[in-house]
Amino acid sequence: MSKLITMKFGGTSVGSPEAITNVVSIVKGEVDAGNRVIVVVSAMSGVTDALLASVKMAIADNKWGYLDTARKLRDRHDDTLNILIPPGKNRETTQAEIAALLDEYTEICQAVNILGEATPRIWDAVVSFGERLSCRMVAAVLRHHGLDARAYNAGDFLLTNNQYQQAVPLWAETQARIDEKLRPLLTQGVTPVITGFLGATRDGNITTLGRGGSDYSGAIFAACTDSDELVIWTDVDGVMTADPRLDKRARVLPYVSYQEVGELAFYGAKVLHPKTVQPILDKGMPIRVRNTFNPQHPGTLIRENGERTQTVIKAVTSIKNVSLLTVSGKGMIGVPGIAGRTFLASAQAGASILMISQSSSEQSFCFLVTDNTARNVREAIEAELAEELARRDIDRVDVEENVVIITAVGAGMRGTPGVAGRVFSVMGERGINVIAIAQGSSECSISFVVPQDDLERAVIALHDLALDGAA
Ligand code: ASP
Ligand code: MG
């Protein structure tokens, strides 16, 4: 039976002529086998960062900077097309579209330059060019190989609210547009190539789904088209038991569950955007993570239930560049609302909270945010709790920067007694001081905080447990 497959290709997967050649054979292989494919693409690797940097240049009156970015982007896309497509109409029209997009980009930068500032909406408009360029380029190459591939801006189908830089899909409207505009294309045999990362507001302004958001885009399109599967094509063989840079013994996990991968992504594994599983959950659709540069490898299959391994801990992740904030004071005991006000103040300061822990004596609680937000968060909390601080009900708000979060993930932890015990005995045996601990109520992960200097040793110690089945 013919399948509908949504495939998302990441930045490195469309980042060079060689990579795009692999993309073509992957997509064409499915289409030739009688399947239909929806392609969702990231910007070429490094482009999103370059575009973000160019907004700063425009604000700082560095005209040369953004003009240079425009020129480099044009060269990179043109060169790629020159290598992959012979001279002719397909190549020329695509290069003309790329030139037109970059003219538009330059005009926006000019406006930012004149104003000396950029709103979140403008940041999104500028950063959108990465995917808009790569999408046209990839569609052209697929056409050259005989597919009826057409480039689309995600905003044609994917509507979001106007929370620029972190937009949220408007599900009902998106579903309606996909039914009305995208499904007919599939029936006609078109291979749509859609910009990842982007959406549009009801008024048609471009929005982005947050950094790394094209995985999420892939999941949205897969879910709303009822695809048979979603494949995330990236540059590693799959979801790994640990970061191979921290422990060489890391290996690819053949199966993980939605929940496990969600925890892994949230706690620092870079392989998938944390929101990717959300749209897929109720559909029970399989997600595969596969390597564009090693397409023979089966990758990782993510489903409702992962495999039952002998080891309770399946994988270990870590998050660096986090700060630990501690609010402490004897006057907090039994006083409701301090934690609530603290977290609200943190949210208003733009921080998202990665982990929370409170001691049962209620004399202090602590939580973790990313380093870049810590200072603002502390100020916001001090302002919110100014009265309590003045009365000495709260002694202080401390910030500790040189810490990391380590997380052990595995669905088998649920109902298995003693896992936490083993985890922390291992830390103790190796002389690693655990600063704070939290377990998600899903019981699918345990997270704890250690000094930054102990990162590698802590990961290796936990990975030992995952590898030898001792936990
Ligand atoms: N290009 C965007 C980024 O680098 C989105 C993505 O690739 O997922 O964040
Ligand atoms: Mg990514």
Which of 175, 221, 173, 224 is CA-nearest to residue 198? 221
Which of 220, 270, 293 is CA-nearest to residue 18? 293
- 420, 428 contact by CB (below 8 A): no
In this structure, the answer to whether residues 219 and 323 fall within a common structural domain is: no
What is the crossing angle of helices 120-127 and 47-59, to 10°? 140
In this structure, the answer to whether residues 322 and 223 fall within a common structural domain is: no
Average pLDDT over residues 6-13: 98
User: For 86-102, how does the pLDDT look when each residue is reduced to its tens digit (9 = 90+)?
Assistant: 999 999 999 999 999 99
pLDDT higher than threshold 70 for residue 270: yes
pLDDT higher than threshold 70 for residue 5: yes
443: CATH = 3.30.2130.10
User: For 387-431, how does the pLDDT look when each residue is reduced to its tens digit (9 = 90+)?
Assistant: 999 999 999 999 999 999 999 998 888 878 888 888 999 999 999
Query: Does residue 146 belong to any structural domain of this protein?
Result: yes
Query: Does residue 430 belong to any structural domain of this protein?
Result: yes
Task: Tell me, in angstroms, the distance from the centre of ligand 2 to residue 290's CA.
Answer: 13
Transcribe 314-325 into DSSP letters.
-EEEEEEEEEEE
Query: Does residue 145 belong to any structural domain of this protein?
Result: yes
pLDDT for residue 333: 77
Residue percentage of the chain with pLDDT more than 70:
98
Greater confidence (233 vs 274) lies with 233
Greater confidence (271 vs 157) lies with 157
User: For 28-67, how does the pLDDT look when each residue is reduced to its tens digit (9 = 90+)?
Assistant: 999 999 999 999 999 999 999 999 999 999 999 999 999 9
Q: Whose CA is nearest to atom 8 of ligand 1?
A: 212
User: For 58-86, how does the pLDDT look when each residue is reduced to its tens digit (9 = 90+)?
Assistant: 999 999 999 999 999 999 999 999 999 99
Among 235, 264, 284, which residue terminates a domain?
A: 235
Task: Tell me, in angstroms, the distance from the centre of ligand 2 to residue 199's CA.
Answer: 17
Q: Is the CB of 15 under 6 A from ligand 1?
A: no
pLDDT for residue 412: 82
pTM: 0.92
In this structure, the answer to whether residues 226 and 321 fall within a common structural domain is: no
Residue percentage of the chain with pLDDT more than 90:
85
pLDDT for residue 183: 97
In this structure, the answer to whether residues 331 and 209 fall within a common structural domain is: no
Q: Are strands 300-303 and 436-439 parallel, antiparallel or unpaired?
A: unpaired
Q: Is the CB of 49 under 6 A from ligand 1?
A: no
Q: Where residue 288 falls among pLDDT bands split at 50, 70, 90? A: very high
Query: Does residue 133 belong to any structural domain of this protein?
Result: yes
What kind and span of H or E run contains 364?
Answer: strand 364-370
Ligand 1 site-directed mutation target among 48, 216, 289, most atoms within 8 Å of CB: 48
123: CATH = 3.40.1160.10
pLDDT higher than threshold 80 for residue 468: no
User: For 182-234, how does the pLDDT look when each residue is reduced to its tens digit (9 = 90+)?
Assistant: 999 999 999 999 999 999 999 999 999 999 999 999 999 999 999 999 999 99
In this structure, the answer to whether residues 190 and 323 fall within a common structural domain is: no
Weakest-pLDDT range from 129-143, 211-225, 357-371? 357-371
Among 211, 235, 259, which residue terminates a domain?
A: 235
In this structure, the answer to whether residues 334 and 448 fall within a common structural domain is: yes
Among 196, 215, 235, which residue terminates a domain?
A: 235
pLDDT for residue 133: 98
- Which residues, including other chains, have CB under 8 Å from residue 86's CB and lie 6 or more apart? 144
Query: Does residue 225 belong to any structural domain of this protein?
Result: yes
pLDDT for residue 256: 93
Ligand sitting nearest the alpha carbon of 197: 1
User: For 334-360, how does the pLDDT look when each residue is reduced to its tens digit (9 = 90+)?
Assistant: 777 898 999 999 999 989 899 998 876
Taking the CA of residue 217 as reference, the ligand 1 atom at the shortest distance is 8
In this structure, the answer to whether residues 51 and 144 fall within a common structural domain is: yes
Find the domain containing 449 and state its range. 315-468
- On average, the pLDDT of the chain sits at 94
Taking the CA of residue 42 as reference, the ligand 1 atom at the shortest distance is 7
Q: How many other C-beta atoms are found inside a 10 Å radius of the C-beta of residue 362?
A: 15
Ligand sitting nearest the alpha carbon of 272: 2
User: For 148-183, how does the pLDDT look when each residue is reduced to its tens digit (9 = 90+)?
Assistant: 999 999 999 999 999 999 999 999 999 999 999 999
User: Burial level of 100, CB count in 10 A (0-12/13-18/19+)?
Assistant: exposed
In this structure, the answer to whether residues 229 and 321 fall within a common structural domain is: no
Domains in the chain, number: 2
Query: Does residue 271 belong to any structural domain of this protein?
Result: no
Greater confidence (283 vs 305) lies with 283
Query: Six-digit token pair at 318?
Result: 């870590």
Query: Does residue 156 belong to any structural domain of this protein?
Result: yes
- Three-state DSSP class for 27? helix
Q: Is the CB of 235 under 6 A from ligand 1?
A: no
